[in-house]
A and B are shown apart, each in its own frame.
Chain A
Amino acid sequence: MKKKKEVPKASGGYIISNPEIGSSNENVQLLRIVLTKVETKIDFGYQATDFYDDGGWIKINPLTFIRPSGSSKKFILTNAYNIPFGPEVLQMNSTIGWRYFSLAFPPISEEVDLIDLIEEEFGDKNDFNFFRIKLNEKEKKYKIY
């Protein structure tokens, strides 16, 4: 049996609550970013739709990365919580299925203002691609206690 991964507790650093995003995947909601010296954790919510009778499934490409917008420097996914790495999938089992999950990447510099999150470069609407995610909006960024 696989050991369930525990989401590490945040300590130090910042959260960005409900960050503004230039363009985003419509199937999944980017909810919060937790910036610490250890990692960059991004929290998501997924709500199944009636597009599939059984609610469909979700997975994450292990090569998913973040990058400062406009840069070619990639920070590859280091961990995924509550979502399997593809090709393994998580079945929703019904059209009212839902999932809260998090993706962890290496820490990024506090100087970075905008990032992209890319599951598939030049992918389609099913891929978890988000562009120009704002990290330094004063009214949405809070220091972790």
Chain B
Amino acid sequence: MYSVIHGIVLAVACLVVIVPLGYLIINSIKLPREFLTIPPTILPTEVTFEHYQDLIDDKKTVRYFQNSLTVSVWTTGVTILTGTLAAYGLARMRLSAKILALVTFIFLFIRFYPRVTTVIPFFLVMRQLDLLDTVWAIIIGQLGITIPFVTWLMLVVFQDLPSEIEEAAIVDGASVWQRFSRVVLPIVMPSVSAAAILTAFLSWNEFLIASSVARRKASVLSIAVASFVSDKGIQWGPMAAMSVVMIVPMIVFALFAQKYLIRGITFGAVKG
């Protein structure tokens, strides 16, 4: 009985996710005249791949794709590396609670300050560093958001870790780096995977920073998606096609990271 309800609940949840996404895919292969029909067109009378063809034919799409990929890979890589290390450092430094709270607080303050009001000064900083219209400007801007998040997330995880786990390694004379990489990291791998997934998603879709410091060579996919909304209406078909194109790499990444998430869980279970 329980497993039946369990199954039904999960099926409903999956439907709530899949139906809108399926509709997005259908929209990407619909003819323009079938977008606003009453009732809505669920099965298009004619399937068209023109929206995808247009995207592929446009050289700019390829460049946006490369830029988005560069930004996401760097942002995720640097964030996970520095954020996890920083969290471990903060957790093991035996700082007084007040100082620890203060450092975390500064990080979070920077994380949550409305970016809208720092767009112009950030633009000036990037101009000073001669980084305008480069992917580095976007990456640096995004790191200001992602590193504090990952640091805090991992800080909570490290603090919850029983100290006995490391004691044996300390007694064996392992260095901090060895303790971190060989003992602690495998155990917290599920959380690291989750943080990496979240960071990659955020970076891939981030719009405001990208649009304010990179509008020409370094433009990215999220800006391209927004550009289908103009002052006189929405180009539904191309927008849907672009959204689908944007989703695919992230699904691949999520599957990949999930594998690590699982491995981390099983490893943790063996260890624990």
Note whether A and B form a binding pair: no
